[in-house]
Copies of this chain bind each other. A is one copy, B any other.
Amino acid sequence: MRLSELSEHSGVSTATIKFYLREGLLPPGRRISATQAEYGEHHLRRLRLVRALIQIGKVPVATAREVLSHVDDDSLGRTIRLGAALWALPQGNPPAEDLEDPEVAAATAELEELLTRLGWSNAQQIGALSPVYRSLAAGLATLRRLGFPGDLETLLPYARAMHELAERDLDALEALDSEAEQVETAVGSAVLFEPLLLSLRRLAQEEESARRYGY
């Protein structure tokens, strides 16, 4: 399809598509004349992901470019490819940088105990290589420093629930045709689904509070 058709099918203006092309967020189309190029299904799919990152996730352009470079790197194993793409996304808590900091070290020890009790041996093996792991350590250190509750007994059922849901998420991804599509969908879902999950949590709390205490 031509640029104008790509715009029509995606609902993204041609000016915005040209901006994404210029910034390297969208691969160029197949050139068919000096002034025209042909775009395909994968452009439509990529456009969907770019919008999720930039327009919804407010991810900076340079970060989005990094995320996409991992999404496109089919030399990586699936876990590393998906991991690298997700790792490049902004985290709620900036990953802890100084693991020697006493507060972070104490939080890391707690996190290790949590992972042992969960039986998440792969996460333990990846360990501090993963920004997700270091982000958890940072968040846990903050929780402890400010003295808010949230001991391991509180975290365990949350972690177990997240693992059950991760099994479902990966089952759903496996139903998609190609590994490229799976990785793209996983990244887009991370951006779009995470705020939904937090809203569901707050709504569940409202529901439960109203059941217990009325309005």
Contact = CB atoms under 8 A, between A and B. Distances in A.
Kindly report how many copies of this chain are found in the complex they form together: 2
A193 interface: yes
A190 B185 CA distance: 28
B78 A122 contact: no
A209 B79 contact: yes
A149 B146 CA distance: 38
Q: Helix, strand, loop or mixed for chain A's interface?
A: helix
A123 B135 CA distance: 32
Interface in A129-156: 130, 132-133, 135-136, 139-140, 142-143, 145-150, 154-155
A203 interface: yes
Interface in A80-98: 80, 82-83, 86, 91-93
Contact of A201 (B165, B185, B210): B165
Interface string A186-203: 101110111111111111
Given A150-B192, A200-B155, A207 B135 contact: no
Contact residues on A (Cβ < 8 Å of other chain), bracket: 35 or more
Interface of A: 11, 48, 51-52, 56, 77-80, 82-83, 86, 91-93, 120, 122-123, 125-126, 130, 132-133, 135-136, 139-140, 142-143, 145-150, 154-155, 157-159, 161-170, 172, 185-186, 188-190, 192-215
22 contacts: A77-B214, A79-B213, A82-B209, A83-B206, A91-B198, A92-B196, A93-B196, A120-B207, A122-B206, A122-B210, A123-B203, A132-B206, A136-B203, A146-B192, A148-B185, A148-B192, A150-B189, A157-B164, A159-B203, A162-B200, A163-B207, A169-B205
